[in-house]
Chain A
Amino acid sequence: MSNISLQTKRILKNRAFLALCLLSTSATILILALLIVSIILQGSHFLFNSDALSAVFAHGELSQIPKIFRWDFLTNFASRFPEKAGIYAAIIGSVWVCVICALLALPLGIGTAIYLEEFAPKNRWTALIDFNIRNLAGVPSIVYGILGLTAFTRMFGLFGSDKNSALAFGPDDAWWHIQFPFGQGLLAGGLTLMLVVLPIVIISSREALRAVPSSLRQASLAIGATPWQTASKITLPAAIPSILTGAILAMSRAMGEAAPLLVLGIPVFIANTPDNLNDNFTVLPFQIFNWAGRPQESFHQLAASAIVVLLVVLICFNGVAVYLRQKLRKPMA
């Protein structure tokens, strides 16, 4: 008798736990869905052309499909008239700094991870470095902004000021023009974002390398391969899908940062795209921040539209990460 009641109790507990898990999952999804739907609704005015929408869906005029989206929102510069305002400068700026950030942060971060995981001796020093990197990953990004302001924007005042540089190469409008300090230029932004994401890249790459079974390494070393051969031919290829996933998630983080760039003093209004690495730029999150703070409701709608664009870009990034992971994953056996 007691045996049966114990049995039902066990099953009841199991069901209760399942219900709890389902509840928390659906709560998360509901909150996310609510957020996305409300943002899309708020931003729809500047994203979609209502005439074309009704033509396509109510009257089936398929020729109107390209006109559904208000492309000029993507190709216009910022404006005081909400109807004419767009995010061209912000998109171009965001892409530029992210590319610079990726080109700098990925080799440095993955290289550090390979050294720490595959070559470095396990002693007090590497433990200290490991501890510090983990700590840095938790530092608020605005702190990196202050570091970037001193180190990249002003360069400790070593080379004069941005407007009166003591060390510059090439004419101002040449694509290869470069000057020190970097001021509010693309390089300053890219380097500052590199500081923000570097700890994340290192940690995720190390986790990826650690997940490679050590039997593979030992087998390679046992047949006489050097540690470099083992790392480059065995460990790294096995870890690359996860490394890439981490790297792309880090880049999404860089794309979404506004705080560190705010500290650098980058502008919000700019009606040009950069010609060289020292040119001024603005980024999407910063434009969103500005629009969301304006008194007029139309600017809040613009901010929502820009958030939708930012979300789409981030979803694309994550999609690439998933695709690469599937494509590069090879069976270990």
Chain B
Amino acid sequence: MKSIATLALSLLALPIALAASMQTSDADLRKLTGQIKVDGSSTVYPITEAVAEDFQAAAPKTRPTVGISGTGGGFKRFCAGEIDISNASRPITKTEADSAKTNKIEFIELPIAFDGLTVVVNPANTWVTQLNVDQLKKIFSADSPAKKWSDVNPAWPSETIKVFSPGTDSGTFDYFKEVTVGKDGKIRSDLSVSEDDNVLVTGVAGDKNAIGYFGFAYFAENASKLKLVPIDGGKGAITPNGMTIEDGTYSPFSRPLFIYVNAKSAERPEIAAFVNFYLANTAKLSKQVGYTPLPAVINDRATSNWKSKKLGTQYLDASGNKVQGSIANVYK
């Protein structure tokens, strides 16, 4: 009788003990101290800010700081070992990964949310009802760019296209460029550029012949002033929304957002606790600040990569070539 009770008790205790080993307890969090330095993409910033805000409340003696140097600027600092975590709105490039290697920086790559890149035109624009990637290439490419709408489609008016784009140091620009004109292509230079996406919103909203692109959150806040363009990625035109972004049908413009954790920093308890906290809460928090959560299966894979400290990026193969495809294919 006694042994059965012991067995039952230990069976009961087992999952609790397991859970405790996975998650730092609240009391342990309160004891943590130390700096957690995060910098990088301003697109990822709102999510990391939300995580840092809640983490700070749970672990009041730690000092998380989050900067907005841009994806490129963040990686520069990350690869020099200046920060613990880098926010990125695109995967790390080969050049950046090489620079990390030279500085003996190892890292863990973790996808944390989706951002839909939206292409928008002015509401008075009646002719554009959808665009495919080829048409976008015609509009944005530096090689013989379409000067007028009629250059894209002869049925469209013969009026000059006004092009608006985020700044060249942003991951948003990099991602858009790669999808439309390719890695080695060039985006036209006669466009209006702003680091502040609100300026792009105002620009497109104020000009009948304008076209621009930025993150879904900026469209969602200004939906009445803009016209969303459904994108045909080869399987029919898809309008971006929470559902099509999450399940990946809004292709190719549903892009994953990442954090990169310095592997050496990850050995520090406060960093480990912060990343645990990040992965456990990112679904809830990313939604709160206007992004689309990753499918649970990708989040699970990211979490298991984190637990097993899987080093390096999934976006570069062994010989350093870029891995293409949706995140579901890359994160197997």
Cβ–Cβ contact A297 & B221, under 8 A: yes
**CB-defined contacts of A295 to chain B, threshold 8 Å:** 197-198, 215, 217-218, 220-222, 290
For chain A, which range describes its interface: under 10, 10 to 19, 20 to 34, or 35 or more residues? 20 to 34
Cβ–Cβ contact A78 & B196, under 8 A: no
CA gap between A183 and B217 in the complex, in Å: 33
Q: Indicate if A24 sits at the interface (CB-CB under 8 A).
A: no
Cβ–Cβ contact B66 & A268, under 8 A: yes
Q: Indicate if A107 sits at the interface (CB-CB under 8 A).
A: no
* Stretch in B10-18, B45-53, B324-332 with 4+ CB within 8 Å of A: B45-53
**CB-defined contacts of A80 to chain B, threshold 8 Å:** 46, 49-50, 53, 285, 288-289
CA gap between A161 and B222 in the complex, in Å: 43
Interface positions, chain A 265-282, Cβ under 8 Å from B, are: 265-272, 280
Cβ–Cβ contact A267 & B66, under 8 A: yes
Partner of A293, one of B64, B81, B196: B196
**CB-defined contacts of A293 to chain B, threshold 8 Å:** 42, 195-198
Q: Indicate if A290 sits at the interface (CB-CB under 8 A).
A: yes
- The minimal Cβ–Cβ distance linking A62 to chain B, given in whole angstroms, is 37
Cβ–Cβ contact A164 & B49, under 8 A: no
**CB-defined contacts of B289 to chain A, threshold 8 Å:** 80
**CB-defined contacts of B56 to chain A, threshold 8 Å:** 271
CA gap between A272 and B62 in the complex, in Å: 9
Q: Indicate if A79 sits at the interface (CB-CB under 8 A).
A: yes
Cβ–Cβ contact A265 & B63, under 8 A: no
CA gap between A290 and B46 in the complex, in Å: 10
**Residues A272 and B63 in contact in the complex (CB < 8 Å), given A80-B46, A292-B196, A296-B290:** yes
Query: How would residues 139 to 175 of chain A score, 1 for a CB under 8 Å from any chain B CB and 0 otherwise?
Result: 0000000000000000000000111100000000000
Interface positions, chain B 273-305, Cβ under 8 Å from A, are: 285, 288-290
- The minimal Cβ–Cβ distance linking A243 to chain B, given in whole angstroms, is 37
Interface positions, chain A 77-105, Cβ under 8 Å from B, are: 77-80
**Residues A161 and B80 in contact in the complex (CB < 8 Å), given A271-B53, A293-B195:** yes
Q: Indicate if A294 sits at the interface (CB-CB under 8 A).
A: yes
Q: Indicate if B69 sits at the interface (CB-CB under 8 A).
A: yes
**CB-defined contacts of A267 to chain B, threshold 8 Å:** 37-39, 65-67
Closest to B57 in A: A271
Partner of A268, one of B45, B77, B82: B45
Interface positions, chain A 162-220, Cβ under 8 Å from B, are: 162-164, 183-184
Cβ–Cβ contact B46 & A294, under 8 A: yes
**CB-defined contacts of A262 to chain B, threshold 8 Å:** 69
CA gap between A249 and B66 in the complex, in Å: 31
CA gap between A8 and B46 in the complex, in Å: 68
Partner of A280, one of B65, B197, B220: B65
Cβ–Cβ contact B82 & A161, under 8 A: yes
**CB-defined contacts of B131 to chain A, threshold 8 Å:** none
CA gap between A22 and B104 in the complex, in Å: 67
Interface positions, chain A 245-275, Cβ under 8 Å from B, are: 262, 265-272
Main secondary structure on A side of the interface with B? loop
**CB-defined contacts of A183 to chain B, threshold 8 Å:** 82
CA gap between A79 and B45 in the complex, in Å: 12
**CB-defined contacts of A300 to chain B, threshold 8 Å:** 198
Q: Indicate if B73 sits at the interface (CB-CB under 8 A).
A: yes
**CB-defined contacts of B66 to chain A, threshold 8 Å:** 267-270
Cβ–Cβ contact A265 & B39, under 8 A: yes
- The minimal Cβ–Cβ distance linking A203 to chain B, given in whole angstroms, is 32
Interface centre among A183, A184, A295 (most CB of B within 10 A): A295
CA gap between A164 and B64 in the complex, in Å: 18
**CB-defined contacts of A270 to chain B, threshold 8 Å:** 63-66
Cβ–Cβ contact A269 & B65, under 8 A: yes
- The minimal Cβ–Cβ distance linking B96 to chain A, given in whole angstroms, is 16
Closest to A78 in B: B49
Interface positions, chain B 25-75, Cβ under 8 Å from A, are: 35, 37-39, 42, 45-46, 48-50, 52-53, 56, 63-69, 73
CA gap between A43 and B73 in the complex, in Å: 31
**CB-defined contacts of A272 to chain B, threshold 8 Å:** 63
CA gap between A297 and B290 in the complex, in Å: 13
- The minimal Cβ–Cβ distance linking B223 to chain A, given in whole angstroms, is 11
- The minimal Cβ–Cβ distance linking B104 to chain A, given in whole angstroms, is 12
**CB-defined contacts of A161 to chain B, threshold 8 Å:** 80-82
**CB-defined contacts of B48 to chain A, threshold 8 Å:** 269
A-B pairs, 8 with minimum CB distance: A267-B65, A269-B66, A267-B67, A80-B50, A295-B221, A295-B218, A295-B217, A293-B196
> Contact residues of B with A, CB < 8 Å?
35, 37-39, 42, 45-46, 48-50, 52-53, 56, 63-69, 73, 77, 80-82, 195-198, 215, 217-218, 220-222, 285, 288-290
Given contacts A267-B39, A267-B65, A269-B66, 12 further A-B contacts (CB under 8 A): A80-B50, A80-B53, A80-B289, A161-B81, A163-B82, A183-B82, A265-B67, A265-B73, A265-B77, A267-B38, A268-B66, A293-B197
